[in-house]
A and B are shown apart, each in its own frame.
Chain A
């Protein structure tokens, strides 16, 4: 196949909405959505603030199969309220993972894939979003003891706030070039620390530190994939078979790396971070 033929045949994953992404990932004809839009479980908090809620609260939960294995997919719709986690959407993800844990305990192996397009807590539901994220994190850690939990950040929203911590708990993390991963959004850092510290309008700078390619090159993501539907699915299936890097369980390694930066740490660029995290100790 020539390059131009490949280009014509490739189908973008990033351009798909949450529901289509979940469908595209699961084995053909196995997608079954749970608590879909017709169940109309919506945010009880948004209408009181003059914001129109969405019938699925921006989260798609689907059971299905991945290369024949039982799987649950939780896909966040970045197009609704920036993919923010409110009470209902957060509870949908936490509950789906909790039910997968129960299935595993009952002898039904079930893995999970999280499609993370989220700015983190939905500020209109602040403390309930935060609580839900704590519960999602608890469930990821527990489910991972049974079966892989794969995080996928495709873009274009990226993954921030408490959900970036959730990404750091997954067995495997898959990113594209369109992905960004960071705790604090650029605007918030600029507001808190000033424009000299972090210029939220300087996109190349932000990408060079938090973009998918950089995160993969510095070992903070496990796989890097092009924006192609078939390639994304193949990479997810491969990761299901791979041993986890268990980054969150390696405080000693990271503390040793960070201590090598000295007692007054200077600003670093992307290359500095890659060099630091690709060292011998890894």
Chain B
């Protein structure tokens, strides 16, 4: 079961807006006394693209996300910028021949472009991880947010590739991969290790990450509201650079800045 489907009604209520692919839920609702657009990618058993029927981010999903975000930006051009909340449970990008042939990379670029432009235009953009946030699917749906919030739950998973495929590509067994992941924080599949990279703004313990209780909903909505206020007028991703396991990212930036000015 896709978790975004369970969280969305409580978080946003209301009907999903028409005009988008059936694998998208786009709901406008109130958050902290302002408008917010909640967006999720969900399974669609009748998806015209058979490799994107289980909630994967494929061609229609990438371009559909772009449309949903772009329309919010256009609607708010002269008014208060609504918050945009990506509710994330995406198992992967779509792997298939149709997808490569028709340029799935460009569809996902459309989604990244839209989220990034919304952020630059002054919309508070928040990624709420309620389930899987895998690889290209996460890049397209959530990773451009100013703040990332994750449920503190073993079903929340951030990674670049599933274990079996990652083992094959790196010429290791799954057991070897797991042994390495236990020691190498960026390779790990657990949320504690991910949090040590400094990419999450908050982790939230809830009673039921699968099917949220009213108290869970209230807690997460309060956290989203707090994130909107914390974002304030910031439009970039710099808040992600402080993690204990991102020392090299900081050192590269500091030393490049020094040499850049001298060059």
- Known A-B contacts A91-B253, A134-B144, A265-B48; the reply to A193 vs B98 at CB < 8 A is no
Residue interface bits A260-272, CB-to-B below 8 A is 1, else 0:
0111110111101
How far in angstroms is the closest Cβ of chain A from B29? 23
Interface flag for A239 (CB, 8 Å): no
Residue interface bits A179-190, CB-to-B below 8 A is 1, else 0:
001111001110
Chain A residues, CB < 8 A from B139: 130, 133-134, 137, 162, 165
How far in angstroms is the closest Cβ of chain B from A170? 9
Total residues of chain B contacting the partner, CB 8 A:
82
Contacting residue for B100 out of A39, A123, A184, CB 8 A: A184
- Known A-B contacts A126-B161, A127-B194, A133-B139; the reply to A255 vs B95 at CB < 8 A is no
Interface flag for A131 (CB, 8 Å): yes
- B187:A125 contact, CB within 8 angstroms: yes
Chain A residues, CB < 8 A from B168: 187, 191
Interface flag for B237 (CB, 8 Å): yes
Interface flag for B97 (CB, 8 Å): yes
Interface flag for B51 (CB, 8 Å): yes
Binds B, one of A7-15, A21-29, A227-235, A243-251: A243-251
- B contact patch SS: helix
- Known A-B contacts A34-B263, A133-B139; the reply to A126 vs B166 at CB < 8 A is yes
Residue interface bits B231-261, CB-to-A below 8 A is 1, else 0:
0000011001000011111011101110110
- B108:A251 contact, CB within 8 angstroms: no
Query: In the complex, what residue of chain B is closest to A220 when comparing beta carbons?
Result: B103
CB within 8 Å of A: which B25-83 residues: 46, 48-51, 59-60, 63-64, 66-67, 70
- B237:A134 contact, CB within 8 angstroms: yes
Chain B residues, CB < 8 A from A48: 183-184
Chain B residues, CB < 8 A from A237: none
- B144:A251 contact, CB within 8 angstroms: no
Contacting residue for B256 out of A95, A145, A210, A249, CB 8 A: A95
Q: What is the CA–CA distance of A267 and B8 in the complex, to the nearest angstrom?
A: 34
- A255:B102 contact, CB within 8 angstroms: no
Interface flag for A258 (CB, 8 Å): yes
Chain A residues, CB < 8 A from B103: 168, 215, 218, 220, 273
Interface flag for B180 (CB, 8 Å): yes
- Known A-B contacts A99-B257, A137-B144, A273-B101; the reply to A128 vs B96 at CB < 8 A is no
- A141:B117 contact, CB within 8 angstroms: yes
Residue interface bits B137-172, CB-to-A below 8 A is 1, else 0:
011100110000000000000111100111011100
Residue interface bits B160-199, CB-to-A below 8 A is 1, else 0:
1100111011100000000010011111100000100101
- A169:B144 contact, CB within 8 angstroms: no
Chain B residues, CB < 8 A from A162: 135-136, 139
- A63:B101 contact, CB within 8 angstroms: no
Chain B residues, CB < 8 A from A166: 109
How far in angstroms is the closest Cβ of chain B from A81? 10
- B251:A41 contact, CB within 8 angstroms: yes
Interface flag for B99 (CB, 8 Å): yes
Chain B residues, CB < 8 A from A264: 48, 50
Interface flag for A96 (CB, 8 Å): yes
How far in angstroms is the closest Cβ of chain A from B163? 11
Query: In the complex, what residue of chain A is closest to B56 when comparing beta carbons?
Result: A192
Interface flag for B210 (CB, 8 Å): no
Query: In the complex, what residue of chain B is closest to A253 when comparing beta carbons?
Result: B63
Chain A residues, CB < 8 A from B185: 127
- B114:A251 contact, CB within 8 angstroms: yes
Q: What is the CA–CA distance of A127 and B240 in the complex, to the nearest angstrom?
A: 13
- B100:A183 contact, CB within 8 angstroms: yes
- B169:A187 contact, CB within 8 angstroms: yes
3 nearest CB pairs, A to B: A168-B109, A164-B105, A248-B113
In the assembled complex, 26 residue pairs joining A and B whose CB atoms fall closer than 8 Å, in A order, are A34-B263, A45-B186, A48-B183, A126-B187, A127-B159, A127-B160, A128-B246, A130-B135, A130-B158, A132-B249, A141-B112, A142-B116, A165-B136, A166-B109, A183-B93, A184-B136, A187-B169, A192-B92, A193-B96, A209-B97, A209-B100, A251-B63, A254-B106, A264-B48, A264-B50, A273-B102
- New A-B pairs, 13, CB < 8 Å, besides A183-B108, A248-B66, A249-B110: A34-B263, A61-B256, A87-B248, A91-B253, A125-B184, A138-B119, A141-B117, A168-B103, A184-B100, A191-B165, A198-B97, A265-B50, A273-B101
**Residues in A lying within 8 Å of B, measured CB to CB:** 32, 34-35, 39, 41, 43-45, 48-49, 61, 63, 87-88, 91-92, 95-96, 98-99, 120-121, 123-135, 137-138, 141-142, 145, 161-162, 164-169, 181-184, 187-189, 191-193, 197-198, 209-210, 215, 218, 220, 247-252, 254-255, 258, 261-265, 267-270, 272-273, 276
**Residues in B lying within 8 Å of A, measured CB to CB:** 21, 46, 48-51, 59-60, 63-64, 66-67, 70, 92-93, 95-110, 112-114, 116-117, 119-120, 135-136, 138-140, 143-144, 158-161, 164-166, 168-170, 180, 183-188, 194, 197, 199, 236-237, 240, 245-249, 251-253, 255-257, 259-260, 263
